[in-house]
């Protein structure tokens, strides 16, 4: 299967040069005599449109500057299977539309511009792109091929038997999925965050357990080392994580410190004489923490009364006990455990980042992770929509397909609206992150909306499938069980609403 994917990536029709930053395009002025502005551009003179970091969904104008010889587009390379190249840059950049008619709702929003020169005026049309680049769509097809061929045929059995498929997870590593948002110097692909979200979306379309394994491996396992690790730590931990050879876990949640993460009770006391941290406490609901591939878990621990620090605990360290896996409602093929630390000693240099900055680090990775979880929810909702529409066309009742009844058709229509809205929120949040702009509210919006519509979509999909939807042989049954946790993990829906209310300046507690 991987050989076929690699061959597809090497196809000659793939454009190996593309924009990875701002897109520019030339446009020409046309007569519009109703508006006058003196001393601007001559009729027919080309302009270069430069993105200024405009929100995807707003209507504010960008900056227009005159440039007779624009710089050539920066090149990038899409490489074979295990090293997918950087994705195609800013999906929300402006592209030129000489005819406003193609700027339909899904493809972009047409923005009119007025310019005048020497007694005449000119109207130009600019669009805001909502679609991923052709390279990102090609990459989507590669991940979809892998998901359909290597995950979908086995997902029901893994769910039934509570099996963590090590070989398949390593296959995702060979495909380059664990290295997507990380730079090439550590073995990553240097792709943008939207490309990473597309990968999660496509995997979630067939199995949420494998999607959360990927998401947690990247956003919670590898990302803390990339953001805060020393070069030595990056070489020891980050590089093999990016290759998909090992997994890392992030231990934040405790029995009495879930949404109130600052209430962490796990303690790490420094034994100066031995040069070791002595860790005591427990962590709950920790993903990827007990697999045969798990190399370490990064935990938050109190190192002083008002100080939280991230400490790396290697698997197999004496005093570190991984409890039996939880019996869960869903995500049966995902690995989740309680962790116990009882006099667990780790080297003093196993602090990740600066001492006392553990809380700040985890807040950063949670903001990123919420976008990725929203992408996972989007993939599940899309799968439910596709399955529901197909079933509504095929299932015969009372002399015809059930899709002819409004009670069924309207559920599908509402699902389609929800999926489209979720896609826009998720993709915008990923784009904002790539621009280096604040993402806390955008991530909260995406996670809140996408996860809640995913739960709704799975419920409606089961209803449309009737009795078959209640049978585990039908994917929507598994989706129904898998979806609920999305409203809880990496920040509950209530926490997302709290974040957004505070962003509005409300004195909410």
Contact, 420 vs 427, CB < 8 A? no
Distance CA(485)–CA(202), nearest Å, equals: 19
Provide DSSP, 448-484. Answer: HHHHHHHHHHHHHHHHHHGGGGGSTTSHHHHHHHHHG
Q: Where are the beta strands (DSSP E) in 134-275?
A: 247-251, 267-271
Q: Residue 232: what are its φ and ψ, rounded to 5°?
A: -65, -40
Q: What is each CA distance from 495 to 53, 368, 421, 473, in whole angstroms?
A: 28, 15, 21, 34
Provide DSSP, 245-269. Answer: SSEEEEE--BTTBSS-GGG---EEE
Distance CA(223)–CA(238), nearest Å, equals: 8
Whose tokens are 């780790």? That residue is 346
Of 79, 273, 490, 509, which one is the catalytic site residue? 490
**Token pair for 85:** 């190249």
The residue among 137, 188, 218 whose CA lies nearest residue 427 is 137
Q: Is the four-CA dihedral 173, 227, 426, 165 of positive or negative sign?
A: positive
Strands 294-304 and 396-397: unpaired
Buried b (16+ CB within 10 A) or exposed e, 237-248: bbbbbbbbebbb
Contact, 106 vs 155, CB < 8 A? no
Whose tokens are 């809380």? That residue is 359
* 8-state DSSP, 177: G
- Is 201 an active-site residue? no
Q: Collapsing DSSP states into helix, strand and coil, what is residue 103?
A: coil
Contact, 175 vs 84, CB < 8 A? yes
Q: What is each CA distance from 394 to 206, 407, 464, 472, in whole angstroms?
A: 20, 16, 12, 20
Provide the annotated active-site residues.
490
């Amino acid at each position: 299967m991987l050989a076929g994917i690699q061959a597809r990536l090497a196809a000659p029709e793939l454009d190996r040069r593309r924009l990875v930053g701002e897109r520019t395009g030339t446009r020409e002025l046309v007569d519009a005599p109703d508006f006058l502005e003196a001393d601007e551009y001559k009729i027919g003179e080309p302009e270069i449109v430069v993105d200024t970091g405009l929100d995807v969904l707003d209507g504010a104008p960008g900056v227009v500057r005159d440039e007779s010889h624009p710089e050539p587009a920066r090149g990038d390379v899409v490489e074979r299977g295990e090293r997918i190249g950087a994705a195609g840059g800013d999906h929300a950049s402006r592209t030129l539309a000489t005819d406003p008619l193609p700027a339909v709702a899904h493809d972009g929003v047409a923005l009119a511009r007025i310019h005048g020169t020497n007694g005449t005026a000119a109207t130009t049309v600019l669009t805001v792109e909502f679609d991923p680049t052709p390279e990102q769509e090609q990459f989507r097809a590669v991940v979809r091929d892998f998901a359909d061929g290597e995950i979908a045929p086995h997902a029901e059995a893994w769910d039934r038997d509570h099996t963590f498929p090590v070989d398949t997870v390593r296959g995702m590593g060979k495909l380059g999925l664990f290295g997507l948002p990380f730079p090439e110097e550590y073995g990553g692909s240097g792709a943008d965050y939207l490309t990473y979200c597309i990968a999660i979306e496509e995997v979630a379309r067939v199995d949420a357990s494998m999607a959360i394994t990927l998401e947690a491996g990247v956003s919670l396992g590898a990302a803390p080392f990339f953001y805060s690790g020393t070069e030595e730590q990056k070489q020891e931990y980050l590089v093999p994580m990016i290759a998909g050879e090992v997994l890392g876990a992030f231990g934040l949640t405790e029995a009495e410190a879930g949404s109130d993460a600052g209430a962490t009770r796990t303690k790490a006391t420094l034994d100066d004489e031995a040069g070791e941290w002595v860790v005591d406490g427990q962590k709950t609901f920790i993903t990827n923490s007990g697999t045969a591939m798990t190399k370490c878990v990064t935990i938050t621990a109190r190192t002083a009364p008002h100080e939280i620090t991230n400490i790396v605990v290697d698997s197999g360290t004496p005093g570190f006990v991984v409890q039996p896996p939880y019996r869960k409602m869903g995500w049966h093929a995902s690995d989740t455990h309680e962790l116990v630390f009882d006099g667990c000693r780790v080297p003093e240099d196993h602090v990740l980042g600066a001492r006392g900055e553990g809380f700040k680090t985890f807040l950063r990775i949670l903001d990123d992770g919420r976008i990725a979880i929203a992408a996972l929810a989007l993939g599940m909702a899309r799968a439910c929509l596709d399955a529901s529409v197909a079933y509504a066309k095929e299932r015969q009742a009372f002399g015809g397909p059930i899709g002819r009844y409004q009670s069924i058709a309207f559920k599908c229509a509402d699902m389609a609206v929800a999926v489209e809205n979720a896609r826009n929120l998720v993709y915008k949040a990923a784009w904002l992150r790539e621009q280096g702009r604040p993402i806390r509210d955008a991530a909260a919006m995406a996670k809140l909306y996408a996860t809640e519509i995913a739960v709704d979509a799975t419920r409606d999909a089961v209803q449309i499938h009737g009795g078959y939807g209640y049978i585990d042989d039908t994917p929507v049954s598994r989706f129904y069980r898998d979806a609920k946790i999305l409203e809880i993990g990496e920040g509950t829906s209530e926490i997302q609403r709290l974040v957004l209310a505070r962003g509005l300046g409300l004195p909410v507690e």
